[in-house]
Amino acid sequence: MASGAILVAFVLDWFASIVAAFRHAHGFTGRARALQFFAPGSLTWAALVVLAVALLALGHRNDPPAARRADLGERLPIGLFLAACAVGLSASIDLLIELTSFGGGIDAAFSALIGYAAVLPIAAATAWWALQETGKRSAT
């Protein structure tokens, strides 16, 4: 249940980021809009999706018959896999945006670049783990 709540929060937060990216604000640059649009590519969301997959895996191992009976138990790993992929894709796009902004200050751009690069292995490992959980659910 908690994994599903994290997944719903991820979707709602991304929707809020999309709405905020299209707001009409004076001085809101295209770069800032793109970074706002792809806000889920953060270390925070990467960690929360890892937590969601861990909770799902723990729940399936503690009560496998209930996990087989629940439709949510079948679909949730796929949703978490997609969320991990979305975090990784967002971080990749944010990383590319930061590569183009070294003119605005190399220290800020470099630190953001490293932050987005740190998300990529976490998102990849989480996507793999969620995919493994999907395979286990369909095999049982």
Tens digit of each residue's pLDDT (9 = 90 or more) over 17-37: 999 888 887 878 888 888 888
Residue 105 DSSP label: -
The model's pTM: 0.82
Place of tokens 């590319």: 96
Please state the separation of Cα 74 from the chain's center in Å. Answer: 20
pLDDT digits (tens, 9 = 90+) for 38-78: 888 899 999 999 999 999 888 877 776 655 555 666 788 99
